[in-house]
Amino acid sequence: MIPFLSVWLIFSNVSLANSYKNIPADPEKDKVLISVLNYMLTRGHYVQKDLNDDFSEAVFTSFIDGLDPSKRYFTKKDIKEFSKYKYQIDNQLKKSDISFYNLVYNRFLSKIKNAKKYYGSILAKPFNYNKNEIIDLDYKKLQYATSEKELINYWRKQLKLQTINKIQEKEEIENDTYKKDNTYQKKSFETIEKEARAEVMESMENLYIRIDELEHRDWFSTFLNSIVGAFDPHTTYMPPSIKETFDQEMSGKIEGIGARLQKKGIYTHVVELVSGGPAWKQGELEDGDIILKVAQENEEAMDIVGMRLDDAIKFIKGPKGTKVLLTVKKKIDGSTKVITITRDIVELEETFVKSSVVEKDGKKYGIIDLPKFYISFDDRNFRDSAKDMEKEIERLKEENVKGLLIDLRNNGGGSLDTAIKIAGLFVDKGPIVQIKYRGESPIVKNDLDTKIQWNGPLVVLVNELSASASEIFAAAMQDYNRAVIIGGNQTHGKGTVQNILPINKFYPNYDKELGFLKMTIQKFYRINGGSTQVEGVYSDISMPTRYSYMKYGERDLEGALKWDKVPQARYSQVNSYSNLSEVIDMSTDRINKDPKFQLVDEYAKWLKNELDDSTYSLNYKQYTKELKEREEFAKKFNTVFKYESGLAFNSPSYERSLFRENQELQDKRLVWHKNLAKDMYIYEALNVLSELKLNVSQEGIVKN
């Protein structure tokens, strides 16, 4: 399925003076960007990288792959022509010369035009489904086509696979319908095949509508990211609109009408409303509605049909308290009406800390879910993860919990400052992490607050997607012997720090917005001296997960910085537990003997093999035969994550009092609590938490 373009509506003071139009190429601005980025990277990036032939080759490969990852457009002849610049890009960049970009970009535009003819003629007639042939979707192994004829054959195979997949899905629906009603007249293969090709054609048409909406600035951003990405995978160029979205995700708030939009063909559809947001409260806008026009209060409406999504959003967003008038075609009856919505700040509840209380063996324990280390850069008075964690711990103490389990699974990180403060909630003042700039000695970052918010038993649950600030927190808890780290074998391994720099700051008096550079400027180091880069944090207790054998870590990223170490910081271990080794051994033994975890390990190996096998038969009978074989084998894993702990999870008292006025919050918590009760990882983490015994010196503080 072609992925759709969607975005949460956000607000800023955007001038609407510039009406919708295709923004032409701006050679002067492009050269300025190249020059300033070159200056910033060579002087500020953590890695001092020479702009040499190796760098040039990396940019060359990255840009071409970025435009044509599945080798649908360029041929060997094109690549040969481009190759005259393969080792010249570094020299061009030093002169702000973009000849390589211009050549590849203009060729790509001509190839896009050809592509419409390719897929149209290919999908105009049925494929030969009896032909014995295969397709390999590992495009890194695929050679560029030697001719247009061979290129068209690449297209044919890819479109044939899409069609076969849809035919198979449709036949399955037909068979299921017939099983429920044996009077149902099943469609013929010919009818299904024709419908399948029509759907693939529609998908391709929608894809190229979106591609046609892309402008020079979009493609040039791809080129800029090929340049900056040659320094490391986390250094990226961010146009102003992307920076705005990044800030929203970091803060957990949006300022707008609170709706998620999707472009389908030439129309802008509403696909979701944010619970509690302005549109949700106003009550007239619904999922599936189509927005036809947008007007500011007391101004003429702007037609947004056919407008690219990013541009349409510029007219819909605006400052808090202002009104926007949407002319909407209603999904329910096709009628057209004007809906007035007052813009406001919307909090994305799923971003924030939440907690639950569970009773096990007669004792209460608290579970805290921390999705990310969030902070608002433009409003320091707004809630952040450190302040919220402190409140949540206090609320759980009022519930008389005897231990805390912090769930950092899938937490990709966020604010380093909040990670340090959260670590400080569990230890006395002292070092939490070390950071290092290029060519300088490491700097120890300390928690300066002597207050300990929680001194009782603590377990931290992680997985392979716990990254960055999550790893800083987990590493500090491990180095202090303050918590047991349990989860996947090791965390993600992102041990680098990025700073977002406004490019205009480095080119003052320039009157055009240049965007931002998210640049790697530091590396993280544990207080024990080791980097979290690549290695991540190894769990004290390792449990098999679905990611165990997959390439999800920093170590699997091309160009990732290497692991190293610095001198250890001065700190004293807390050594909170009298039976730490014993608890780790007991848990490890339980996991190794547990049939459920053994099945998870087997499942993870199967997933890895499935991902590694990138070939598919394009003979329809063979395709369905292989699919049935895979599905039959996969049945073995139908129950892999089916689990019932028998434990009852509940919201803390303060939250239960909110349910009377917020039914949706209650419904969300009920779903979360049911999932916690079915989570084998949570259950084993609670086993560990319940078995930990504090050293005598710690007990008095816990009872306060």
Residues annotated catalytic, as ranges: 468, 479, 494
Query: Backbone dihedral region of 284: left (phi > 0), alpha (psi from -120 to 50 degrees) or beta?
Result: alpha
Query: Do 545 and 574 touch, CB atoms closer than 8 A?
Result: no
How many angstroms separate the CA atoms of 422 and 413, rounded? 13
Q: CB pairs under 8 A, 24+ apart, for 632-637?
A: 633/606, 634/606, 637/599, 637/602, 637/603, 637/606
Q: Which amino acid is at 600?
A: V
- Sort 239 into a burial class: Cβ within 10 Å, 0-12 / 13-18 / 19+: middle
Give SS3 for 321.
coil
Query: Do 506 and 40 touch, CB atoms closer than 8 A?
Result: yes
In degrees and rounded to multiples of 5, residue 405 shows phi and psi of -115, 120
Query: Do 286 and 331 touch, CB atoms closer than 8 A?
Result: yes
How many angstroms separate the CA atoms of 81 and 104, rounded? 9
Beta strands at 336-342 and 323-329: parallel, antiparallel or unpaired = antiparallel
DSSP string for residues in 604-659: HHHHHHHHH--EEE-SHHHHHHHHHHHHHHHGGGTTTT-------EE--HHHHTTT
Give SS3 for 63.
helix
Longest dimension (CA), the chain: 79
The single-letter DSSP state of residue 263 is E
Query: Do 619 and 572 touch, CB atoms closer than 8 A?
Result: no
503-505-509 Cα angle (round to 5): 110
Closest by CA position to 420, among listed 568, 540, 527, 574: 527
CB atoms within 10 A of CB 696: 8
51-30-6 Cα angle (round to 5): 105
Closest by CA position to 468, among listed 234, 687, 168, 694: 234
Q: Is residue 665 within a helix (H) or strand (E), and if so which, with residue range? A: helix 663-677
